[in-house]
């Protein structure tokens, strides 16, 4: 049985998610988390490297959508230069936002991939919607007790992922 909390792939960062890889695994649409997946919390907009990377993915024919539990202002500002279909206050780990993206892209869930940095929100909402999930390392881990606690809880699922790959 598939464990909803175990990522399908783990990478260092978003730049490991290349158009070539996506095509290889049959992906035609992406659902992307913003905070700590694409940019740190403190960064309102994408830098040049990220912008070029996302454009490269787009120009290979892969659709991009955004889902964030952050507010409208944050998402709107980040998305201003892209104009992607985006959901703010997305309510992850609910799968509703992911299902919304799948419908918007007019794809089957097998053709969609979620990329995020958190197991209990991103990975869970993706798997609940029946889409595969890549978890990347958070760009700038928040240094507070609650965040460290969440990271500790994630560890067993990362271990399962690593063991499965052996
Ligand atoms: Mg995040």
User: What is the mean pLDDT of the segment spanning 69-84?
Assistant: 98
Q: Is 2 a domain residue? A: no
pLDDT score, position 1:
57
Averaged pLDDT score across all residues of the chain: 95
Phi, psi of 87 (to 5 degrees): -120, 125
pLDDT at 143 over 80: no
Q: Is 157 a domain residue? A: yes
Number of domains present in the structure of the chain: 1
DSSP classification of residue 120: I
* Owning domain of residue 132: 9-165
pTM strictly above 0.75 = yes
pLDDT digits (tens, 9 = 90+) for 7-23: 999 999 999 999 999 99
Report the separation in Å between the CA atom of 4 and the middle of ligand 1, taken as the mean of its atom positions: 17
Q: Is 13 a domain residue? A: yes
Report the separation in Å between the CA atom of 104 and the middle of ligand 1, taken as the mean of its atom positions: 22
Q: Is 3 a domain residue? A: no
Report the separation in Å between the CA atom of 100 and the middle of ligand 1, taken as the mean of its atom positions: 18
Q: Is 42 a domain residue? A: yes
pLDDT at 71 over 70: yes
Q: Is 1 a domain residue? A: no
Report the separation in Å between the CA atom of 144 and the middle of ligand 1, taken as the mean of its atom positions: 15
Cα torsion at 115, 118, 123, 126 (round to 10°)? -60
Under 8 Å between Cβ of 134 and 30: no
Q: Is 99 a domain residue? A: yes
Which residues contact residue 120 at a Cβ distance below 8 angstroms, ignoring those fewer than 6 apart? 5, 93, 150, 153, 154
pLDDT band of residue 65 (cuts 50, 70, 90) is: very high
Residue 19's domain is classified under what CATH number?
Answer: 3.40.50.1000
pLDDT digits (tens, 9 = 90+) for 102-136: 999 999 999 999 999 999 999 999 999 999 999 99
pLDDT score, position 23:
96
Q: Is 25 a domain residue? A: yes
Q: Which two three-digit tokens encode residue 109?
A: 């869930």
Report the separation in Å between the CA atom of 88 and the middle of ligand 1, taken as the mean of its atom positions: 12
User: What is the mean pLDDT of the segment spanning 71-84?
Assistant: 98
Report the separation in Å between the CA atom of 40 and the middle of ligand 1, taken as the mean of its atom positions: 9
Distance CA 108, CA 121 (A): 22
- Let me know the angle formed at the C-alpha of 36 by 30 and 40, rounded to the nearest 5 degrees: 125
């Amino acid at each position: 049985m598939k464990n909803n909390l175990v990522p399908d792939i783990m990478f260092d960062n978003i730049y490991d998610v290349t158009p070539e890889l996506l095509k290889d695994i049959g992906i035609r649409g992406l659902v992307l988390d913003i905070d700590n997946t694409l940019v740190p919390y403190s960064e309102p907009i994408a830098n040049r490297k990220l912008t070029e990377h996302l454009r490269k993915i787009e120009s290979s024919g892969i659709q991009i959508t955004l889902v964030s539990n952050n507010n409208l202002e944050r998402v709107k500002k980040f998305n201003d230069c892209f104009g992607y279909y985006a959901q703010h206050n997305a309510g992850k780990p609910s799968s509703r936002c992911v299902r919304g993206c799948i419908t918007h892209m007019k794809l089957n869930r097998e053709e969609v991939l979620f990329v995020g940095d958190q197991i209990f929100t991103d990975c869970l909402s993706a798997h609940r919607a029946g889409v595969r999930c890549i978890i990347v390392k958070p760009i700038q881990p928040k240094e507070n007790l609650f965040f460290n606690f969440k990271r500790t809880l994630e560890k067993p699922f990362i271990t399962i992922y690593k063991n499965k790959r052996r």
